[in-house]
Every structure is written in structure tokens, then in C-alpha cells.
Amino acid sequence: MMDLTNLFKSVPTLTADEAKRQAEEGAPGDMTLLDVREPLEYEEGHLPGAVHIPLSQLADRLGELDRSRPVVTY
């Protein structure tokens, strides 16, 4: 039987204020802001520089993300 614990790792959770502070304190490009809302929601407003991949497409588009940088998903 496969040991599934090796497939998953714990990820930290940030409040909106903590994510904002990290984005402001870091250099541009230190993290990826990932907006997983649907297109109409994204068009209504989004954070500058956010990558838009709707949650319904995320599994098929994970290769578009830079895995060397932290990803803040909202």
C-alpha cells in the first residue's frame, strides 16, 4: 500500500494583513498571487499582478506556476 503522507505537506495559512505585509516587504516577484475565482469575479476586481487560474481549471494548469516561489492563493 502506498504511503499517502509523503504526497501532502502542511502549508501555512496567512491572514490578509499578513499576506499584504509579506508582499510589501518582499521584492517584486518573491511570491505569486494566485486568484482562483471565476472569470466574472476576477473581472470585477483583483490584486495587481495576480495570476488568474479559476479553481475549476487549477489541476490542469498547475504547470503554469513557478514552484520555486511561494504561492498565495485567494
Mean pLDDT across 7-36: 81
The answer to whether residue 2 sits within a structural domain is no
Residue ranges making up the domain that contains 54: 30-67
Q: What is the per-residue pLDDT across 29-68, written as a single tens digit (0 to 9) for each?
A: 788 999 999 999 999 999 888 999 999 999 999 999 988 8
The answer to whether residue 7 sits within a structural domain is no
Burial 17-51 (b: 16+ CB within 10 A, else e): eebeeebeeeeeeebbbbbbbeeeeeeeeeeeebb
| pLDDT at 34 (0 to 100) | 93
The domain total for the chain is: 1
Whether pLDDT at 4 is above 80: no
The answer to whether residue 62 sits within a structural domain is yes
pTM of the full predicted structure?
Answer: 0.75
The answer to whether residue 63 sits within a structural domain is yes
The answer to whether residue 56 sits within a structural domain is yes
Considering only residues 5 and 18, tell me which one the structure prediction assigns the higher pLDDT.
Answer: 18
